[in-house]
Amino acid sequence: MKHLARLAALTLALSTGAHAADQFDDKFRQLDELLPTPSTTRTASGAPGHAYWQQRADYKLRARLDEARRAITGAGTITYYNNSPDTLHYLWVQLDQNMFRPDSDNRNISTLPSREAWQKTGPEGVKFDALRANFDSRAFDGGIQVANVKASGGGALHYVVNKTMMRIDLPQPLKPGARFSFALEWRFNIPEANIVGRRTGYERFDKENKNDIFEVAQWFPRMAAYYDIAGWQNKQYLGDGEFTLEFGDYEVELTVPADHIVASTGELQNPNEVLSAAQRERLARARTAGKPVLIVTQAEAEANEKDRASGTKTWRYKAKNVRDFAFASSRKFIWDAQGIQSGANKVMAMSYYPKEGNPLWEKYSTQAVIHTIEQYSKYSFDYPYPTAISVNGPVGGMEYPMISFNGGRPTKDKKTGELTYSKATKYGLISVIIHEVGHNYYPMIVNSDERQWTWMDEGLNSFLQFLAEEAWEENYPSRRGEARDITDYMRSKNQTPIMTNSESVLQRGPNAYGKPATALNILRETVLGRELFDFAFKEYGRRWKFKRPTPADLFRTMEDASGTDLDWFWRGWFYTTDAVDVSVDGISEYTVSTQDPEIEKAWRKKLRDAEPMSLTEQRNKGTPRRVDAHPELKDFYNEHDDFTVTNADRNKFNESQEKLEDWEKALLSSGKHLYLVDFTNVGGLVTPLVLEIQLASGKKTIERIPAEVWRYSPKKITKLIVTDEPMTGLVQDPFWETADINVDNNAWPRKLTPSRLELFKTQRPQNDMMKDFNAPLKKPDAETKVSP
């Protein structure tokens, strides 16, 4: 009996499965199962709730730059405020310099793309600088050494260093609303940025190593973030996931060589002690100037390089309500500045750069800083800080509150000394400054969790960068933002969803920068329109400035402020690797029958006459026929065909017309052309349809159809299109605005794809050893010798 029961159950299961419908893939289902449940901390509208809280940390720091040893020694006091409803028994502190330890996880987990990539030769093979970086990083004495960790009362605190994180055990539980202060000391060696460093380091310029540029970041133990969604954000720093930090006030003293110029987060507190009278006068003049004013000229910077001063100076800074602090220091710096207004705030836009950066930097840097603040403020909020700085040094692009490190310089001809720069260098410089200064808005103010979500600052910032570039000049060569620029990535197999942890992202640039920037641009231009999008995006910035949003807060705010359900958009673009690929598969043409036999039979005859003559008919044309020889064989049917209108046809039509109302008669005589168009969603990502309809008169019209057209059938749909005249062609996405990865299937009728065939001469390589042996030996030119 048991066997029979099992057999019956199996038979029932098989019969049920055989008739079960295919599982429906609802592209428009809500994101409720993916987003955290709203609470009094974070509301369903995407706004901070009435119980929102965040921690705070104030810093009083002292640091000394040892130029000869290229090292930092520091000491300071950190005051941590527990604004959470939780009692804390320990604190987590970030020691990001430990990423440079020879035994760090960053080094130990690094892998090659493949064995084949390692074994390639020529331009695709292993580079000198890559292998040098590998060797030097193993030898570099990196990592931060922490000592004398004490409570404010003087008692030593127990602490444990776990790679790039340090846990400090509290002597007493830190209750909600309480604060705790502790002091500590530290030191570390500064990495050479172009070889070992990442986001920080020094750059050497001459063999004697006298004149370096130091760009110093992650230079002190920083409090890890503790917040409602993640608790302690103490994921290890592996190199890609950047920083998650708390806001606070900083008082910082930086002791550097006496002839160094310092650029820093915050406002300089002691200009009388560190600047000359002439520099102070120029700085005052720059506040109201209409163009950048040189505070330190190139001639003065060159003199500093030659006349190395002894002794030190201490530069003192204060910064309010910032999440981090960075600085740059060098005797090579030229310095220019210009004051601008951002709402009610006076801002000093400033640039620091060596002579090697000119003429590019003196022409473009501060102008790009000003342009960034003007454009980003349109779409977010007024810039709230007193300074915005761009520094040229070894770090190609990195952001900190009020200060950014940016690469890009002209090329000097070794023989003639002529300075030139390429188009890519010029626009690359402008773009990187816009991008890094723009990071003041995202994430330095809208303080997302970078360690978890790279895209939340990089993607949003790249989108605003694109808008700022568009406002710089017409036909600006932007790399990211336009839908057509992301299609190569979208069709690739080697990718992860945008909603992937920062350390697991594949193809970081396209994934975390380009794709979210493009998605937001499509949302602005194609889905919502500029007015709705701009209001909603600005509302997101207003709600979350100086707070810590999550992806859910962005998604919910954009929907709440635009009045549009966008769950399908977030799901497809951010949670999948689906692509837009809509194929126009077929079109059927219809017109409304007038029911008038005079018209309808003539129409059918016209169709019949338009049919091609068969091959048999063509070959038999002119052949003698019997009825031609015997005309008496012809009768009524030789004079009339199936398209002859009879009186019976006319009577039937007249009788039917008497039964119709006026509006029904109007429909029969409307003359409208109806087309059933079949679309297939090949790529899987649902998208609005943008249809260019080409008419017989040459006129073109655009019909925009919301993405909800796919809601009942996400794979295939048929759409009715009605026109007043015959349609001669149709193109889906004619402006390439939806990131369709295959435009070859977007048109009806199909269009030819133009291309070029490049021809090359046949070349047979010859190994003429005798010729090579007899070639004269060239002596190396002094200018081209490789320095040790």
Residue 456 CB contacts under 8 Å (≥ 6 apart), including other chains: 442, 443, 448, 449, 450, 549, 551, 554
For residues 445-454, average pLDDT: 96
For residues 335-363, average pLDDT: 97
What pTM value is reported for the model?
0.92
User: Given a cut of 60, is residue 18 above it in pLDDT?
Assistant: no
Query: How far apart, in whole angstroms, are the C-alpha atoms of residue 6 and residue 617?
Result: 68
- The two beta strands, 293-296 and 231-232, are unpaired
Q: Quick one: 458 and 534 in the same domain?
A: yes
Using only C-alpha atoms, what is the Rg of the chain?
A: 36
User: Given a cut of 50, is residue 2 above it in pLDDT?
Assistant: no
Asked whether residue 773 is domain-assigned, the answer is no
Nearest C-alpha neighbor of 64 from the set 343, 299, 262: 262
- Encoding tokens for residue 290? 């209409």
3-state secondary structure of 526: helix
Among 119-123, 270-274, 412-416, 637-641, where is mean pLDDT lowest?
119-123
What confidence tens digit (pLDDT) does each residue in 676-722 have? 999 999 999 999 999 999 999 999 999 999 999 999 999 999 999 99
- Encoding tokens for residue 232? 């302690």
Asked whether residue 239 is domain-assigned, the answer is no
Asked whether residue 650 is domain-assigned, the answer is yes
- How many angstroms separate the Cα of 717 from the Cα of each of 26, 475, 728? 14, 37, 21
For residues 541-562, average pLDDT: 98
3-state secondary structure of 472: coil
Q: What is the overall mean pLDDT for the chain? A: 92
Asked whether residue 238 is domain-assigned, the answer is no
- How many angstroms separate the Cα of 32 from the Cα of each of 72, 392, 552, 568? 49, 46, 10, 12
User: Given a cut of 70, is residue 11 above it in pLDDT?
Assistant: no
Q: Quick one: 679 and 563 in the same domain?
A: no
Query: How far apart, in whole angstroms, are the C-alpha atoms of residue 229 and residue 336?
Result: 43
User: Given a cut of 90, is residue 151 above it in pLDDT?
Assistant: yes
What confidence tens digit (pLDDT) does each residue in 243-258 have? 999 999 999 999 999 9
3-state secondary structure of 555: helix
CATH (domain of 698):
2.60.40.10
Asked whether residue 446 is domain-assigned, the answer is no
Number of domains in the chain: 3
Residues 657, 594 contacting (CB under 8 angstroms): no
* Predicted local distance difference test score (pLDDT) of residue 14: 47
Alpha-carbon torsion 175, 176, 181, 185, what sign? Answer: positive
CATH (domain of 544):
1.10.390.10
Q: Which residues pair with 675 in a beta bridge?
A: 589, 721
* Predicted local distance difference test score (pLDDT) of residue 12: 46
Query: How far apart, in whole angstroms, are the C-alpha atoms of residue 372 and residue 436?
Result: 9
Please give the full DSSP string across 715-771, using - where no structure is assigned.
SEEEEEEEESS-EEEEEESTT--S-BS-GGGSEESPPP----------------HHH
* Predicted local distance difference test score (pLDDT) of residue 10: 44
Q: What domain range is 502 assigned to?
A: 24-51+453-577
- Start-to-end CA distance of the chain, whole Å, equals 88
User: Model confidence at 119, in pLDDT bands (50, 70, 90)?
Assistant: low
Residue 24 CB contacts under 8 Å (≥ 6 apart), including other chains: none
* Predicted local distance difference test score (pLDDT) of residue 138: 82
* 433: Cα separation from own chain's centroid: 15
User: Given a cut of 70, is residue 450 above it in pLDDT?
Assistant: yes
Q: Quick one: 506 and 560 in the same domain?
A: yes
Residue 223: what residue type? M
* Total number of residues shown for the chain: 788
Asked whether residue 502 is domain-assigned, the answer is yes
Residues 746, 733 contacting (CB under 8 angstroms): yes
Asked whether residue 9 is domain-assigned, the answer is no
Q: Quick one: 467 and 533 in the same domain?
A: yes
User: Given a cut of 60, is residue 284 above it in pLDDT?
Assistant: yes
CB neighbourhood size of 185 (10 A): 16
Tokens 């084949």 identify what position? 116
Q: Quick one: 546 and 464 in the same domain?
A: yes
3-state secondary structure of 432: helix
Asked whether residue 462 is domain-assigned, the answer is yes
Residues 721, 703 contacting (CB under 8 angstroms): yes
Query: How far apart, in whole angstroms, are the C-alpha atoms of residue 699 and residue 686?
Result: 29
